[in-house]
Amino acid sequence: MQKHSDKPSTQLLSAVLQKAGIHNIVISPGSRNAPLIIEFTSQPAFHNLSVVDERVAGFFALGMAQQTGQPTVLVCTSGSALLNYYPAIAEAFYSHIPLIVVSADRPQKWIDQGEGQTIRQHNVFKNHSWYNVTLSETGTEQDLEKIKNAVETAFKQCGPVHINMPFDEPLYQIVETGLPETGKLQTTWQDRVFEISFLEQFEKKWQASKRKMILVGQHYPSEFLQLQLNKLAEDPSVIILTENISNVTNDRFINNIDQAIFSLDDVTLKYLKPDLLLTIGRNIVSKKVKQFLRKHKPVEHWHIENTALPPDTFEVLSQHFDTSPEMFLSQFLFLVKPVPSDYQQNWLDIKRKHKQRHQQFLERTGFSDLKSFELISQNIPSNYMVHWGNSSTVRYAQLFDYRQDIIHFSNRGTSGIDGSTSTAVGAAYVSDRPVMLVTGDISFLYDSNGLWHKYLKDNFKIILINNGGGEIFNFIPGPAQTSALEEFFVTKHHHDASHLAEMYQFEYKKVTDLKELKSGLKKLFAQNNRPQILEIDTKEVDNAGILKAYFNNIKQ
């Protein structure tokens, strides 16, 4: 017999999670969730972590689930604590990351009756989750089925679910008993295999097209997918466009989309329009490629993804293959053959010319955000995992090439700046790879509580690009035409990370010129016995002007 909370519903939940092989539980402190804390911390099957700030806890759990591929359980008390999970839940929903959110609640009779820490928690995440349920207080057979449905859905949909659990007082009672039986639980599904007769109709369209584009969005690292795309790139009628968070690369791919197309005129873009577009993954960073394909629409758009909600990003989706890209291509590659065409070569000629202009510009560029990203890309050691902060950070990152053994992640589901640090720290906690976060100052300061816990690994590194505000608003058209640019868009500031580094016991170095940056990067990657922050201070540099000059140079 083991110790358990005396609340039957907690015992049911514990039994189902253990049956599903779920181990990681991220708990934020509270009183109403005491039965859940007692239950989970009493069971050796669970690995429990304490993260006080619920918004941080949500993204920390997301980072863990992102790397393990298994649902992470989030546990919080009642009231507004639950709402602080919402940014991470929305990110998980659009990035296909499994989370099981478990919230304590007051009994139904106290909702809207002036009771403290009491809000309407039932279905609070219904717009950005796959399953939502409020259990009874007694732990019935119906409750068991609801819990099983929630857990199975988290696995099947690879996204967030919410289990809301009302508890009446007393909350801290303990009993010794065995866990209840759960019955069968399904946590694995096979990729769909298509009939050859079904695929043949698409093979005919593929073979008839001399201008085929494969656009790979955010995707987990996959050696098999890399090999399949390499094979497709042997077809001269196929051009493959990727980003660093696609985690596939090849000299015959367009690996830096904005570098290739940002400065192309509309006549050229119309000429480069594909007849057939095949998309893999989702959450494309490049706004330019989305504008290009929305204006110059392909005749056919096929999307491959295991999802119930395929995105129609270019408003011309004609076919969704509901399976993994690897499974689809393992069948489709046997049906198709190369088609004579100059389509790929036309793209590669543009790539070569723009790459030369890129290199020429960088050779004469001094200390700046742009130059910093060049040096970062050249100095990341083998086998690193890099998490890219949002806004300008992830966009700068797309202009450069990286070692093939580096893997890349970014919170591109909602593209928010709010949880970049917490996600990277959570990913680092469960990863065998050294992990580095590259982030902007606004994102870093916004999520500084992401360092407020005891789970930082010694080899975790942060590169902080501090240009004194949201520099992206100095580059995009629109904000500069208003009177609110610096205060309400850029949000200018004079802070650095020195005090936060001291508080959280990071080794810290700030650099303000090119020589210091080169030595700082060398030192950053040479030491792994303490978390580190390298702050690159470019506040005195006209970064927006340099970036505009960069794209103008490529255009020439």
What tens digit of pLDDT does each residue of 59-89 get?
Answer: 999 999 999 999 999 999 998 999 999 999 9
CB 151 within 8 A of CB 100: yes
Residue with tokens 């639950």: 82
C-beta atoms surrounding 400 within 10 Å: 19
Are 326 and 372 found together in one domain? no
The per-residue pLDDT for 477 is 59
Q: Which of 53-67, 126-140, 168-182, 280-294 has the lowest average pLDDT?
A: 168-182
Number of domains, the chain = 3
Q: What are the structure tokens assigned to 279, written together? A: 């998309």
Are 313 and 404 found together in one domain? no
Residue 372 lies in a domain: yes
Q: What are the structure tokens assigned to 135, written together? A: 């259990």
Q: How confident is the model at residue 116 (pLDDT cuts 50, 70, 90)?
A: confident
- The range of the structural domain enclosing residue 498 comes to 365-555
Q: What is the CATH number of the domain that holds 445?
A: 3.40.50.970
CA distances from 93 to 127, 135, 359 (A): 10, 22, 39
End-to-end CA distance of the chain: 76
Give the residue from 473, 387, 400 showing the smallest Cα distance to 426. 387
Residue 143 lies in a domain: yes
C-beta atoms surrounding 61 within 10 Å: 32
Are 130 and 254 found together in one domain? no
Q: Which of 116-120, 345-349, 481-485, 495-499 has the lowest average pLDDT?
A: 481-485
Are 493 and 539 found together in one domain? yes
Q: How confident is the model at residue 469 (pLDDT cuts 50, 70, 90)?
A: low
pTM (2 decimals)? 0.94
Res. 114: pLDDT tops 80: no
Are 83 and 128 found together in one domain? yes
Q: What contacts 529, CB < 8 A, 6 or more positions away?
A: 458
Q: What are the structure tokens assigned to 492, written together? A: 């200018």
The per-residue pLDDT for 473 is 46
The per-residue pLDDT for 482 is 57
Are 274 and 420 found together in one domain? no
The DSSP letter of residue 158 is T
The DSSP letter of residue 282 is B
Residue 186 lies in a domain: no
Task: Check residues 527 and 396 and name the one with the higher pLDDT.
Answer: 396
Are 144 and 218 found together in one domain? no
Task: Give 436-448 pLDDT, tens digit per residue.
Answer: 999 999 999 999 9
* Angle between helical axes of 543-555 and 369-379 (0-180°, round to 10): 80
Q: What is the mean pLDDT of the chain?
A: 93
**Cα-Cα-Cα-Cα dihedral of 116, 118, 119, 125, to 10°?**
130
Residue 303 lies in a domain: yes
What is the distance between the alpha carbons of residues 397 and 388, in angstroms, rounded to a whole number? Answer: 8
Residues facing 408 on adjacent strands: 386
Q: What contacts 159, CB < 8 A, 6 or more positions away?
A: 92, 93, 96, 97, 98, 99, 129, 130
* Angle between helical axes of 543-555 and 343-363 (0-180°, round to 10): 140
Residue 182 lies in a domain: no
Task: Give start and end residues of each alpha helix (H) in 398-542.
Answer: 420-430, 441-446, 498-503, 514-526
Residue with tokens 């593209």: 415
Are 425 and 530 found together in one domain? yes
Are 102 and 247 found together in one domain? no
Residue 175 lies in a domain: no
Residue 267 lies in a domain: yes
* Angle between helical axes of 141-157 and 8-19 (0-180°, round to 10): 40
Are 133 and 204 found together in one domain? no
Are 217 and 316 found together in one domain? yes
Are 542 and 427 found together in one domain? yes
Q: What are the structure tokens assigned to 364, written together? A: 């004469």
Give the residue from 408, 435, 412 showing the smallest Cα distance to 424. 435
What is the distance between the alpha carbons of residues 378 and 397, in angstroms, rounded to a whole number? Answer: 12
With b for 16 or more beta-carbon neighbours within 10 A and e for fewer, the 487-504 pattern comes to eebbeeeeebbeebbeeb
